[in-house]
Amino acid sequence: MFKKLLGKKSNKSEAILQRSAELVDEKVPSHIAIIMDGNGRWAKKRAMPRIAGHHEGMKTVRKITRYACDLGIDVLTLYAFSTENWKRPKSEVEFLMGLPEQFLNSFLPELMERNIRVQMIGEEQNLPKHTRNALIKAIDTTKNNTGLILNFAMNYGSRAEMVMAMQEIMREVEKGHLTIDEINETHVDRYLMTSHLPEPDLLIRTSGEVRLSNFMLWQLAYTEFLFTDTLWPDFDEQCLLEAVQEYQKRNRRYGGLEGEDEK
């Protein structure tokens, strides 16, 4: 897959392409999830308003989507707005709610060209109409694409998601389709917003914060975590490549043993 990269026309440096080609194919994460954090601090460092950081962060989304596509990753989930982010000043929330439109309107032709499929997780019914419409349009336009799934977590909160799953399961019990003792992990998985996706293999959080902020609490049970001090607007292809290289060095045991210790 990476051999293909080398032959591809791209403005990325030869060095990055060369190093991408050296990645171990079988160990490329299928699903990468990113908590894109640090836009505000990026702007503050430059004495700019916070929204300038969000604008710059949107450019990083483009860059990282392209590179994830080049690397042959199956799913890229980006935490764009949490159920707690409504607490921010109205003007910042309004700006953030305009970003999907800005991003998708200008990027949609390239998403089609690259065979990328847009999806979302989160409570879409509570989004402003224009935000929701932009997302729905992109989801619908790209629905037959078979390449990278670009999954936005928008108005997403893991606790709310789990409460919703519990309610759905209880409804099944109420209807008599399921008994309480039959409830298992597969049922929970089925009612989460991620039911159609593989669990994340790698979680990246930028900006030096070391917490999950209500992101995919169930799904990340055996995910490899990588925290970097880089602020999201500064995160680039090189950073993602290094994250994948770090991931490839990890030994995922899932509670078992591996290699010599197994004998």
Q: Residue 150 Cβ, how far from ligand IPE at the closest point, in Å? A: 15
Based on CB atoms, which residue is closest to ligand IPE, 29 or 122? 122
Q: Which of 23, 80, 192, 241 binds ligand IPE (CB under 6 A)?
A: 80
224 lies in the binding site for Mg ion (CB under 5 A): no
The region of 25-33, 38-46, 125-133, 184-192 touching ligand IPE under the rule CB under 6 A is: 38-46
Taking CB under 6 A as the rule, does residue 81 contact ligand IPE? yes
- Contacts of residue 31, defined as CB under 8 A and 6 or more positions apart, other chains included, come to 73, 74, 75, 76, 77, 197, 198, 199, 200, 201, 202
Separation CA 54–CA 71 (nearest Å): 25
The stretch near Mg ion (CB under 5 A) out of 29-37, 56-64, 171-179, 248-256 is 29-37
Cα 116 to chain centroid, rounded:
14
Measuring CA to CA, how many Å separate 168 from each of 1, 32, 251?
40, 27, 36
Of positions 85, 145, 245, 248, contacts ligand IPE by CB under 6 A: 85
What dihedral angle (degrees, nearest 10) is formed by the CA atoms of 75, 125, 83, 66? 30
Rounded least distance, CB 94 to Mg ion, Å: 18
Residue nearest ligand IPE by beta-carbon distance: 40
Name which of ligand IPE, Mg ion, none residue 39 binds, using a CB cut-off of 5 to 8 Å depending on partner kind: ligand IPE
d(CA 203, CA 215): 10
Pick one of 2, 67, 79, 107: the residue that binds ligand IPE (CB under 6 A). Answer: 79
Q: Does 40 bind ligand IPE (CB under 6 A)?
A: yes
Q: Which residues are the active-site residues?
A: 37, 85
Using CB under 6 A, pick the residue from 35, 111, 135, 197 that binds ligand IPE: 35
Number of separate helices (H) and strands (E) present in the chain: 9, 6
Site stretch for Mg ion (CB under 5 A), options 37-45, 84-92, 135-143, 175-183: 37-45
Amino acid at 96: L
- 164, with CB counted inside 10 A (0-12, 13-18, 19+), is middle
Q: Does 80 bind Mg ion (CB under 5 A)?
A: no
Instruction: Verify binding: residue 96, ligand IPE, rule CB under 6 A.
Output: yes
Helices (H), 114-155: 129-141
Q: 147-206: which residues touch Mg ion (CB under 5 A)?
A: none
Helix (H, G, I), strand (E, B) or coil at 151: strand
User: Which parts of this chain interact with ligand IPE (CB under 6 A)?
Assistant: 35-41, 79-82, 85, 96, 207, 209, 211, 213
